[in-house]
Amino acid sequence: MIRTNWTRAEISEIYNTPILDLIYRAATVHRQHNDAQEVQVCTLLSVKTGGCPEDCAYCPQAARYHTDVKVHKLMEVQEVIGKALEAKEAGSTRFCMGAAWREVRDNRDFDKVLEMVKGVSNMGMEVCCTLGMLTSEQANKLKEAGLYAYNHNLDTSEEFYGDVITTRTYRDRLETLENVRGAKISVCSGGIIGMGEGENDRIGMLHTLATLPEHPESVPVNALVPVEGTPLEDQEKVSVWEMVRMIATARIIMPKAMVRLSAGRVRMTLEEQALCFLAGANSIFAGDKLLTTPNPAVVQDQQMFQILNLKPRQAYKGLEKAAIVTA
């Protein structure tokens, strides 16, 4: 039932299905594999902001673009734990810490991040990091500290990648994903639409994700948040139907993955988000900020959950927490 041998042609056919049939099929697959009422609520925190040496064309944190983002050195461990507590109290079960780094370096900052991971994990939240490239040794250290998941996006297809980022390769990204998998950390990897890519690039990215030796447990689908000062500042907003097609296709080909309706919700109505949940999205980022850009208010999301009869997913569902932390 779970396939990792999808062809690009098969994925293209699914992606191009008439929209209502596509939604119906994705909703059906979703109900066969998951509790469709359940949506995971995650909170992001930028623990180190801006000043990044990379050239990702979408990113407000790249040092080379002139954006309003203020550079901030790595936060203090206690401050991060405080933010995680706030997130937990607001109903989040996964806490994801992001750093504007090209890669992790073996220095005091990394030791501090390991402390943050330990602290958040001990609070019973699923702890996730997104810190750039990782070696297998670094992945192992994060795992030992209690890291549950690691986010590292492919962002787009291999073909379009060079139009967006030139300072590292698609191969680099795949290697980090291998290192994460090798350390038995849950993999979170997805991408962005609305950067000027074609449908083929979207299909290509989904194909790469769905033909990894194991599907990522989590697949974020971001709509570009165009930020003034970045090369993609003038990109047009993608239509909700494109978001729905991405989510539905991801749901059909990776039925058990958490498909995350990620960046871009501030520009979507409740009804548009409802379509995304119907198409199989079962996770969101909550809190009024993503990493550096705005996100809907927590109360607004709580109302949405009530109206749509959604319920937040518990942390470590189906897994024995003690076994994970001490593994």
113 touches, from ligand SAM, ligand SF4, ligand DTB, none (C-beta below 5 to 8 Å by class): none
Closer residue to ligand SAM (CB): 143 or 152: 152
Q: Which residues bind ligand SAM (CB under 6 A)?
A: 58-59, 61, 98, 100-101, 130, 132, 152-153, 155, 192, 222, 224-225, 227, 263, 291
Which pair of structure tokens corresponds to residue 74?
């790595």
The answer to whether residue 192 forms part of the interface with ligand SF4 (CB under 6 A) is no
CA 266 to chain centre: 16
Angstrom distances, CA of residue 33 to CA of 65, 148, 281, 325: 43, 22, 13, 26
For the question of residue 188 being annotated catalytic, the response is yes
Task: Give the active site residue among 25, 245, 251, 260.
Answer: 260
The answer to whether residue 290 forms part of the interface with ligand DTB (CB under 6 A) is yes
In the list 56, 142, 195, 210, the residue contacting ligand SF4 (rule: CB under 6 A) is 56
- For ligand DTB, which residue of 138, 222, 282, 283 counts as binding (CB under 6 A)? 222
* Choice between 173 and 313, CB closer to ligand SAM: 173
On whether the CB atoms of residues 43 and 286 are closer than 8 A, the answer is yes
Residue 68 has which token pair?
């309003």
List residues bridging with 100 in a β-sheet: none
Q: What is the DSSP string of 151-167?
A: E---BS-HHHHHHH--S
Told to check if 222 binds ligand SF4 by CB under 6 A, we report no
Q: Does residue 42 have an active-site annotation?
A: no
Q: Is 56 a catalytic residue?
A: yes
Out of 50, 60, 204, 296, the residue judged to bind ligand DTB by CB under 6 A? 60
- Rule CB under 6 A: say whether 146 interacts with ligand DTB: no
Which residues ranging from 4 to 43 are in contact with ligand DTB (CB under 6 A)?
A: none
Binding mask 66-105 for ligand SF4 (x = CB under 6 A): ----------------------------------x-x---
Residue ranges of alpha helices (H) inside the chain are 8-15, 19-33, 77-89, 108-122, 136-145, 158-164, 170-182, 199-210, 240-253, 270-278, 298-307, 321-326
| Catalytic site includes residue 59 | yes
Cβ atoms 256, 219 nearer than 8 A:
no
Based on CB atoms, which residue is closest to ligand SF4, 102 or 112?
Answer: 102
Query: Is 129 considered catalytic here?
Result: no
Q: Which residue carries 């890291």 as its tokens?
A: 147
Query: DSSP string spanning 92-138?
Result: -SEEEEEE--SB--SSHHHHHHHHHHHHHHHTT-EEEEE-SB--HHH
CA distances from 4 to 157, 180, 204, 208, 239 (A): 17, 18, 14, 10, 29
- Give dist(CA 140, CA 57) in Å, integer: 31
DSSP SS3 for 186? strand
CB of 161 to ligand SF4, least distance (A): 12
Smallest gap from Cβ 116 to ligand SF4, in A, equals: 17
Binding site for ligand SF4 (CB under 6 A): 52, 54, 56, 59, 61-62, 100, 102, 132
Binding stretches for ligand DTB (CB under 6 A): 44, 60, 96, 98, 130, 151, 153, 190, 220, 222, 225, 262-263, 290-293
Which residue numbers are catalytic? Answer: 52, 56, 59, 96, 128, 188, 260
